[in-house]
Amino acid sequence: MADALIRVEDASLGYPGRVVLRKVSLALRAPEFVAVLGANGSGKTTLLRSLLGFLPPLAGRVERAPQLRLGYVPQRETLDDLYPLTGRDVALMGTYGDVPFWGRVGKRERDRMRAALAACGATEFARRRYSELSGGQRQRVLISRALASDPQVLLLDEPTAGVDREAEQAILGVLARLRREHALAVWIVTHHAEAVRGAVDRVVHVDAGAVTEGGPA
Amino acid sequence: MMDFFSPDFLFRNAVTGGWIVCVMCALLGVYVALRRMVLLGVALPQAGAAGIALVFLLTHHGGDEETSAHALALGGSLVATFATLGVLVLGGRTGRRTPVEWRIGAVLAAASAATLFCVALNPTGDLEMTSLLRGELLAISNRDLLLLAIVAALVLALFAAFRRELLLVSFDAEFARTIGRNPARYDALLYLLLGVGISVGVMTAGPMVVFGFLVLPALAALRVTSHLGATFAVAAAIATLSSLGGFEIAYRADLPAGPVYVLLAAAIWLLVSLGALARRRLATAALVVLALVTLPSCGLLRTPDERAAEPAPAGSLPDLAGRAIAIQPFRNDTGQSLRLQSANPLDELGHALGRPADAPVTVLDVLQAHAARELARRGYHVAQGDSPPVNLLGTLSVFSRKADDPLHVRLELALVDAASGTVLWRGEARKPVPVPGALTLAEVAQDAAPAIFAEAFAAR
């Protein structure tokens, strides 16, 4: 593993009976800010789900550092607006992994949640209903939730999709700051190559079933 | 509701059991609504009812083995509910996927038809089963109520203990996985709680009440709340208001309780939804206004007891100059046992009549109780002792009803001076009595009794 938090070696990634990505080799290290670029349907999400451990490799190896803590930010459209939750309710979910079912969410967890909201510039959304927030505001709350889980790696699926240019830059600014201040490995999956240019340390291209590591963005 | 605290209130178990079912379903229903599983909430109670109907048919329920029949029926409800859950939930994970609505539609159609089919084939238990399907809540024995309370407490305790996990996997299953919570495990827990809750709920209140309260309180609560904790609290409050208020209305207006419960919950949902279109605060105010208006307005209606307590003319009955009347056990010359099968309220009636706990309650017991009440309305003192000066003797020679025909009855009554043996008065009831809506023998006896004694005492 050396200093890699996640190392993928010569892996075939995909679903049972269907290989999407072949001979994938890459490593996630901290701190760094990486963008996974590729067209729709190229296999970016498959790569992300494999890094998260949702999809076991069909061949090769995907190794994670012991006790690795992952912070995941899904596409916000996958979350249902029906739930009567405030921004702080959503952010607090990040701490649930450290609270047993018989325990209570205490001051330590609430402090972590507040710190995460503050780090993402989302404190003002804490008391507002999540479903009534704008796309960019929701994204900040979801990043806060991931950050509240005290991760070493932050994996984000299309965090800037469907938000305006200003919100996009604000989100990328938050992620760059988190990488710097919290020494995180931040990997975002996106198809907006232009948006991340200059914001990330390096890019990884996903295309035609192959993953290639690019240089600095 | 003040009658609830009266020691001889016959429907305490029904009120309590109905309230437990309604609140349990309302709390579980919040996740049924949030996870967009409302159709599942239709199919599962119907499947549970089908399981009960099948067990009633297979065990020829209606005979003397009520205890084992109830246990078997609960088993049937559980098996049918969980089998349906298996088809609907696990069926989508294997082989070629089909939309869950397809499977729910198929299950619902099959379960509805199977329920009616089993009821039609059952020669002994059809009345009780039909009563269950209509949402009658009258026959809840102490044992059934205790079982219901224990199961509901367990279901809600697990529901509360795993509230964070259930929220997490329902709102965002993939994020839950990344922080070490297995969504499949907690989905299974939620389905387990739903299955058990629905099974015992259907046993107690029938599929209509269970489905109604899985959906309506949660939908109303979700319109007016911004926090999940508040949603649960408001849903439970709506269920409490609907069930207790509904019982009050049903009791006073002599209506089937289940449909009234559900209609009241639907009225609250409608009010809240209309209010939410304008303002959330208005909806909350509407809830409060409804709570304040509903229960006192029930006072405009009279309870059966209140109606029965109103004075009535003496008719042909003689003036006994204040002498007490003792109701002697009526004679049964019909050639039938006329035994009533329902459980708890009738047990209490038997107890009130001084019968041993294991003695069957019959139509004659119901008529004797009504005779005492009707004599009291006419100003006579009904004695409890063994040797009062005047005895009321009765002979029932006809008591039969086919399908929806009126009840054919012949009851001869006589007041006899206990000391001399002199007959002081004779009366008879023999006119057919319409009893629309009465399903069970107990309901027939209860509904027909006022008309029988009105004729016998010649008050008309």
Tell me the pLDDT tens digit for each residue of B103-117: 888 888 999 898 888
Start-to-end CA span in chain A (Å): 25
How far apart are alpha carbons B41 and B5 in whole angstroms? Answer: 34
pLDDT in tens, B266-282: 999 999 888 877 665 66
Structure-token pair, residue B32: 């049924």
Residue B53 has pLDDT above 50, yes or no: yes
CA distance B56 to chain A (A): 40
Q: Between B92 and A34, whose confidence is greater?
A: A34
| Partner-chain contact B181 A99, CB within 8 Å | no
Into how many domains does chain B fold? Answer: 2
pLDDT at position A110 is 95
Q: What is the pLDDT of residue B64?
A: 45
CA gap A35, A192 in Å, rounded: 10
Domain check: are B315 and B280 in the same one? no
What's the pLDDT tens digit per position in B121-133?
Answer: 876 655 666 666 6
Contact assignment for B177 to A82 by CB distance below 8 Å: no
Closest to B229 (Cα-Cα) out of A92, A99, A150, A94:
A92
Confidence at residue A216, expressed as pLDDT on a 0 to 100 scale: 61
Provide the CATH number for the domain around residue B443. Answer: 3.40.50.10610
- Size of chain B, expressed as the number of residues it contains: 460
Q: Is B171 close to A96, i.e. CB distance below 8 A?
A: no
| Interchain CB distance below 8 Å, B174 and A74 | yes
What per-residue confidence (pLDDT) applies to A197? 82
Residue of A nearest to B179 (CA): A97
Is residue B56's pLDDT more than 70?
yes
Q: What is the pLDDT of residue B344?
A: 45
Q: Name chain B contacts of A189, Cβ cutoff 8 Å.
A: none
Average pLDDT, integer, range B71-79 = 83
Residues B117 and B176 in one domain: yes
Q: Which of residues 147-176 of A touch B (CB under 8 A)?
A: 149
Which residue of A69, A80, A83 is the best one to mutate when testing the B interface, meaning the one whose CB has the most B CBs within 10 A? A83
Domain span including residue B328: 311-456
* Same domain (yes/no): B197, B280: yes
Q: Locate tokens 């098996």: which residue?
A: B79
Instruction: Please check whether residues B332 and B432 belong to one and the same domain.
Output: yes
Q: When comparing pLDDT for B442 and B1, which is higher? A: B442
| Pair B253, B331 in one domain | no
Please write the tens of the pLDDT for every residue from A91-126: 999 999 999 888 889 999 999 999 999 999 899 999
What is the pTM for the complete model shown?
A: 0.74
Pairing, β A185-190 against β A32-37:
parallel
Residues B78/B45, Cβ–Cβ less than 8 Å: no
Closest CB from A52, A54, A86 relative to B226 = A86
B257, B353: one domain: no
Report chain B residues touching chain A, CB-CB < 8 A. 33-34, 36, 161-162, 164-165, 167-168, 170-172, 174-175, 177-181, 222, 225-228, 230-231
Give me the residue from A54, A93, A105 closest to B168, CB to CB: A93
H/E stretch holding A23 reads strand A18-28
Q: Which of B223, B249, B284 is the last residue of a domain?
A: B284
Instruction: Specify if B199 maps to a domain.
Output: yes
Task: Examine the domain organization and report whether B327 and B272 are in the same domain.
Answer: no
Whether residue B401 is contained in a domain is answered as yes
> Rounded to whole angstroms, how far apart are CA atoms B239 and B245?
10
Of B234, B265, B284, the one marking the end of a domain is B284
Give this complex's ipTM: 0.92
DSSP SS3 for A184: coil
Claim to verify: residue B238 and residue B375 sit in the same structural domain: no
State whether residue A80 sits within 8 Å of chain B by CB: yes
With 90 as the cut, is the pLDDT of residue B29 above it? yes
Question: Which residues are CB-neighbours of A187 under 8 A, at least 6 positions away?
Answer: A28, A34, A35, A36, A48, A51, A153, A154, A155, A156
Residue B435 pLDDT: 78
Q: How far is B274 from B240, CA to CA, in rounded Å?
A: 21
Q: Are strands A70-73 and A59-64 parallel, antiparallel or unpaired?
A: unpaired
Q: Would the CB atoms of B228 and A86 count as touching at under 8 Å?
A: no
The more confidently predicted of residues A97 and B92 is A97
Same domain, B230 and B330: no
Residue B242 scores a pLDDT above 50: yes
In a domain, B51, yes or no: yes
CA–CA gap between residue A62 and residue B14 (Å, rounded): 60
Tokens matching residue A82:
């029906």
Instruction: Name the band, by pLDDT with cuts 50, 70 and 90, for residue B152.
Output: very high
| C-alpha B169: how far from chain center | 36
| Domain-embedded: residue B329 | yes
pLDDT of residue B308 exceeding 70: no
For residues B249 and B327, state if they share a domain: no
Size of interface A-B (CB pairs under 8 A): 71
Query: Which chain A residues are Cβ-neighbours of B178 within 8 angstroms?
Result: 52, 70-72, 149
Residues B179 and B38 in one domain: yes
CA dist B99 → B71, B102, B104, B241 (Å)? 35, 5, 9, 37
Asked if residue B327 belongs to a domain, the reply is yes
- DSSP one-letter code for B253: H
Q: How far is B294 from chain A (nearest CA, A)?
A: 28
- Burial class from Cβ neighbours inside 10 Å (0-12, 13-18, 19+) for residue B229 reads exposed
Q: How many helices (H) and strands (E) does chain A have?
A: 6, 9
Cβ A144 vs Cβ A122: under 8 Å: yes
Alpha helices in A149-207 (DSSP H): 165-182, 193-196
Whether the CB of A93 is below 8 Å from some CB of chain B: the reply is yes
Q: Which of B32, B410, B420, B384 is nearest to B232 (CA)?
A: B32
Pair (B43, B162) in one structural domain = yes
Closest partner residue to A72 among B162, B167, B178, by Cβ?
Answer: B178
A137 or B135, which is more confident?
Answer: A137
Q: What is the mean pLDDT of residues B9-32?
A: 90
For residue B194, being part of any structural domain is answered with: yes
User: CATH no. for residue B272?
Assistant: 1.10.3470.10
User: In the structure encoding, which two tokens stand for residue B25, read together?
Assistant: 């379903």
Q: Is there a domain that residue B294 lies in? A: no
What is the model's pLDDT at position B385? 58
What is the predicted pLDDT for the residue at A133? 92
Q: Would residue B256 count as lying in a domain?
A: yes
- What is the sign of the dihedral through the CA atoms of B150, B127, B247 and B31? positive
With an 8 Å Cβ cutoff, are A79 and B177 in contact?
no
> Which positions ≥6 away from B460 have C-beta within 8 Å?
B454
**Neighbouring residues of A199: CB distance < 8 A, sequence distance ≥ 6:** A33, A35, A172, A173, A175, A176, A217
> What percent of chain B stands above pLDDT 90?
26
Which of B284, B299, B330 finishes a domain? B284
The pLDDT averaged over each successive group of 10 residues in chain A (217 residues) is 83 92 91 90 91 93 92 89 94 93 90 93 92 91 94 91 82 90 91 83 89 73
B284 SS3 class = helix
